[in-house]
Structure 1
């Protein structure tokens, strides 16, 4: 409901040519023996280079289990697809944080019903107060009359899946 009422929609995203080139360069740099694929350890180094963190064992296992069984590692196309998806998630999370911050006009780290009313009055002035209240109640997962970033993020992600 939150997405359909607020009018938000997940966006498709494409890498710029320079970003794509950087990803290919990282792949080549991490493919130490020019074998044409990244091993598990090569993949971890590539993620550190591109995203600044070492992937967890679970993340590395997940990626490596998706590799074509006829190869010994992650091909360039598979790597580019994974990096694009990770970048989309990163941008989406940043967008959610930005929206939450815009709603949190008093910088308290949580939103009240009044914050919702003011924000919706700005972005959707014809939306009824009853609808805004329904959205607030839906987003306020623990019904404590405060919407934390975690509540907000969860609602935004659920809304994306329903859209």
Structure 2
């Protein structure tokens, strides 16, 4: 019987090395060697791989990996979920790069910390000077007065303090 998937589709858009990494993770999670993982352990498996899914994402993933509500999912369902997570992460990176380019009006590859302060004040007029200074200090750890793309991404992806 021939597969309905091409080799490209079965690679899930990943390099062979990455595919092997995720197969090893799947096998590690497969404690009873059935080639099936329990859906009720999905959140735990994601956390072990360093991904903290929101409740909404978790609900979506549970339905996606186990549409027939069998309570288990296979490697193909696991990889479709992983590929989705990786694509979403790439989309966020691309979005941040586009936003950064909007701020980098002179195409220098940097944005001044003064310009970033203005942007933050426009976005949140009630931001305190202390909060603003803390944000800028974290975004510009080398205190150069300029924020490059890597620093910008780091700043934008930092978890908020609760």
Query: What TM-score range do you get, normalising by the shorter chain?
Result: 0.5 to 0.7
Gaps of 5+ in 2: 36-73
TM-score (norm 1): 0.58
Aligned-pair CA distance for 1:86: 1.1
Q: Which residue of 2 aligns with 1:103?
A: 103
Deviations 1:21-76 (A, max 9, x none): xxxxxx942369xxxxx9xxx42xx41xxxxxx5262x2332111224433xx733
Contact 1:113–1:145 (CA under 8 A) maintained in structure 2: yes
Runs of 4+ in 1 over 6 A off after TM superposition: none
Contact 2:117–2:136 (CA under 8 A) maintained in structure 1: no
Contact 2:135–2:155 (CA under 8 A) maintained in structure 1: no
Aligned with residue 55 of structure 1, among 15, 31, 36 = 15
Q: Which residue of 2 aligns with 1:152?
A: 152
Aligned-pair CA distance for 1:156: 2.5
Aligned-pair CA distance for 1:81: 0.6
Classify the secondary structure of the residue corresponding to 1:29.
coil
Between 1 and 2, higher relative CO (CA 8 Å, sep ≥ 6) is seen in: 1
Matched ranges for 1:44-83 at <5 A: 46-47=12-13, 55=15, 57=17, 59-67=18-26, 68=30, 69-71=33-35, 75-83=75-83
TM-score (norm 2): 0.58
Q: Which residue of 2 aligns with 1:113?
A: 113
Deviations 1:8-27 (A, max 9, x none): xxxxxxxxxxxxxxxxxxx9
- Structure 2 CA distance, aligned partners of 1:134 and 1:105? 24
Gaps of 5+ in 1: 1-26, 33-37, 48-53
Classify the secondary structure of the residue corresponding to 1:70.
coil
Residue 30 in 1 paired to residue 29 in 2? Answer: no
Pair 1:75–1:31, CA change in 2 (3 A):
farther
**Aligned-residue CA RMSD in angstroms?**
3.1
